[in-house]
Structures are given as structure tokens and as C-alpha cells.
Amino acid sequence: MSEQADWARYVSETEKKIGAVEITKTDETVNNEADPDKSNLAEASLLAKIIRKGLVENKNDIEIQRQDPKSPLYSIKTFEALDLNANLLKGVYEMGFNAPSKIQETTLPALLADPPQNLIAQSQSGTGKTAAFVLAMLSRVDVTKKYPQVLCLSPTYELAIQTGEAAAHMAKFCPEIEMKFAVSGEQVPRDTKLTEHIIIGTPGKVLDWGIKFRFFDLKKLSVFVLDEADVMISIQGHQDQCVRIHKNLDQNNCQMMFFSATYDQEVMGFAEHIVKNPIIIRLKREEESLDNIRQYYVRCKNQSDKYHAITNIYGTVGIGQAIIFCQTRKTAAWLSAKMSEDGHAVAVLSGDLTVDQRISVLDRFREGKEKVLITTNVLSRGIDVEQVTIVVNFDLPVLNGKPDCETYLHRIGRTGRFGKSGIAINLIDSEETMNICRAIENHFGKKIQLLDAEDSDEIEKIGNGN
């Protein structure tokens, strides 16, 4: 309750502060001022969406934490059960969705219910969240009304474009539904009144169009979607802008849909405060299972010894593709140079690359042009490449000097995808690192076994699944 009260006070103070300031900041300004690690979350979300081919089947059960007793949630097994517009249904099948994923079958009945239900939903990357809220957005449009009725906010230009492309694809057979991007580079003449039904954009541009220039009336919106909600709420500038936009909505008649892959306690507290009577659907975090991932640790003396261990393992195990995680960009660059010198086809992905450069690196890795991807935590979430059979923690993840168990889970979860078995190897070069390894082992209750990187017979055994 105290957390809720703190957020209420924050929202009130923020509204007063930004209410007195003319809206002039662009989304680019916000991104530059934001904490760089938080900005990386948005970029990682974009990369995850681009690299993924098709829908990743999610075998996790979804926990319904709270629901409106007047409108209980239920699951559907076919899209026909939703009584969708026939042309929308045609578009859904055109996109390759033959049956709803778990997050879709659980959220869509609530999103399409009458009266509309507010929703805060969390489901891991690749489970079909975008398709779920896009379908709900399109279903809520009244094409006889020639003004914006649906607003979808994304944290970056690229993510907004991704959502818009998904919406355009799904609405392929509904040409009467019109959409408009409110993103950097889009220009609208002064005194224009927008007639498109759906606006997809970034917070700064939407504030300009909706409040500063009044190109459309926020009060007339019947649907408000916050995509990548954890990123939107975590980045300070975006959070302020979202509060301002939310304040100008008709709270009683606008359906709120918040979607994200993750929510920490603070972000969830904020979301629950500004969304009225939400139904909340969240993945049980502990169900991200490590059962099909065999975990090992290798004792090393120093960084050079770590490299020697990697080359021994890589030269012995029949590896499809591998991801090696380093704690810093400097280490990643050093390791890449060493492996390249020894004739290995490697790629590096770290925070100093542009979004376009990262996309290019990931595309090449997905296509198998490089067998090893060396990266930092920017890639610990969201990437699903079926051929990845081994993950190496060149450095174990730590946060404020303590074991970062959540990042460890996300890292080694890059292998063992799609129900297949995977291998995770942790390189240990000190007693301090060994203590971190033991703490991670205790946290998950899964044995991390010692591996002798000098014993080729033992390495062959793990490669054969023994």
C-alpha cells in the first residue's frame, strides 16, 4: 500500500510539473537523456522482434493473479471462437497464426469483451503479445467514425514501425481501417484534424500531435495500448510523457492495454496505479525451466586460461551455434579478436553498435554465417535461434557485486529452446566467482557440475548428451 501511495504522489507531482511546461522535447531527446542501460531494454525488445521467425510456442502456464468476477477469463482454442470480423480472421490466418498462443487465448476474450476490460499482461518474448493487442485494436475500430479511436505507444521509432507493420498485415483484408504513424519524420500541416482510426507512435510525437497542435482529441480515444510497458515506465522521460497522455484520456471510457515481457515490482506498482480495475495476467517466473539445460563450470586461472578452455570445448563438442556472454564490451572485443585470429567465424554484439548494425549482426548469426556470437547483457533476453546449442558465461553475471540470478536465467535460456536440450558452461577464475556460481546453483536448486576442459573424453560425453 505504501508503494501505491508513493506512486500516486509521484503521478500527482509529475502532472503538476509537466502541466506547466510547454511540450517541446522529442523522443530522440528523451532517449539521449535516459539512462543508457534502460534505453538498451527498448533496443533489445526491437532486436528480439526482428530476429524471431514465426511464433515461438510457449509451454508455460499463465497465472491469472486477479480478475473481474463479473467477467471471468477463459481460454479459447480457435480464433473462430472470438466471433471476429471475417476479414480480420482472414488476416490472422494470412499471418500464419493457425491457433492462438497461450497469451492470446487467455487475453483476447477479456480484451474483446463487452463492456471492455482493462488489462495488464506479461508474457515472455516470442509468445504473440503483439498479435494479441493488435487484433484487439483492430476489432475495436468503428470505421463509420472518421477520427482516431485507438492509440498505441511504443518506446522507439523502430518498435512503433514493427507494430504498425503487424497491424497493416493483419488488416490486409480490411482496407476501410486507416492507420497513421506518429513518429519522428512524420509531418502534419497545421490546423489538420486527423481522420485515421488508429495512431501508432512514440510518446513525444503523440504529445505534440494530441496536445500541442491538437491534430486529434485524446478524450475521444476508446483504446490506449502501452507496448513494452516496462521500458516505457522505466525510462524517466517516457514515464513523464505517458503520465501526461494518460491524464488526457477519458478514464471511464477508454480501454487500457499494457503489454510487456517483464515487470518488476516497482513497474507493476506504477501500472496498477494508473490502470483502473485491471485484469492482470502474468507468467509464473519460476516456470522458465532449466530442466533441459545441462550446466557445468570450468576452473580457470585467468582470462587467457578461460580462452584456452573455450577453444578446447569448441573444438571437441559438435556445436551448432554458440553464444558467449561477457560482462563488458572490452572483454567481448578482446575475445572476438582472439577467436578471429585463430580462424573462428565470430560476430560481436554490444551496446556501442547502432540498432541497424545490431540487426545486421543478428541476421547473419541467424542465417548461420557466424557460428559464435560474443555479446554482453544486451542480448540476454528475447533472442530465439533454434541452432544455439551451447551458452558460455565467460563472465558470470553480477549486479552491484551480487549474483544476478535473473540475468543468468535469461542468458542460459538462450540454449535449450523449443524443448531441445542445451549446454551452459560457466568459466570460473577466482574463489569469488566460485562463490557466485554456488549462489546461483543454490538459487535455482539445479546442480552445476565440474567439467575438466583438458579432458577431451569428458567434453565429448557432454556433447553426446551423456
Nearest Cα to 138, choosing from 122, 153, 125, 149? Answer: 149
Reported as a single tens digit per residue, the pLDDT across 145-174 is 999 999 999 988 878 888 998 999 999 999
pLDDT for 41 equals 61
Predicted TM-score of the model (pTM): 0.63
pLDDT at 14 > cutoff 90? no
pLDDT for 207 equals 95
Per-residue three-class SS string for the chain: CHHHHHHHHHHHHHHHHHHCCCCCCCHHHHHHHCCHHHHHHHHHHHHHHHHCCCCCCCCCCEEEEECCCCCCCCCCCCHHHHCCCHHHHHHHHHCCCCCCCHHHHHHHHHHCCCCCCCEEEECCCCCCHHHHHHHHHHHCCCCCCCCCCEEEECCCHHHHHHHHHHHHHHCCCCCCCCEEEECCCCCCCCCCCCCCCEEEECHHHHHHHHHHCCCCCHHHCCEEEECCHHHHHHCHHHHHHHHHHHHCCCCCCCEEEEEECCCCHHHHHHHHHHCCCCEEEEECHHHCCCCCEEEEEEECCCHHHHHHHHHHHHHHCCCCEEEEECCCHHHHHHHHHHHHHCCCCEEEECCCCCHHHHHHHHHHHHCCCCCEEEECHHHCCCCCCCCEEEEEECCCCEECCEECHHHHHHHHCCCCHHHCCEEEEEEECCHHHHHHHHHHHHHHCCCCEECCCCCHHHHHHHHCCC
CA dihedral 251, 256, 258, 259 (to 10 degrees): -170
Reported as a single tens digit per residue, the pLDDT across 164-215 is 989 999 999 999 999 999 998 899 999 999 999 999 999 999 999 999 999 9
Give the C-alpha separation, 445 to 441, whole Å: 6
Q: Which CATH superfamily groups domain 289-463?
A: P-loop containing nucleotide triphosphate hydrolases (3.40.50.300)
Q: How does the average pLDDT of the chain come out, rounded? A: 78
Delimiting residues of CATH 3.40.50.300 domain(s) in the chain: 2-286, 289-463
pLDDT at 90 > cutoff 70? yes
Evaluate whether 121 touches 48 at the Cβ level (below 8 Å): no
The amino acid at 330: K
Check whether domain 2-286 has CATH 3.40.50.300, yes or no: yes
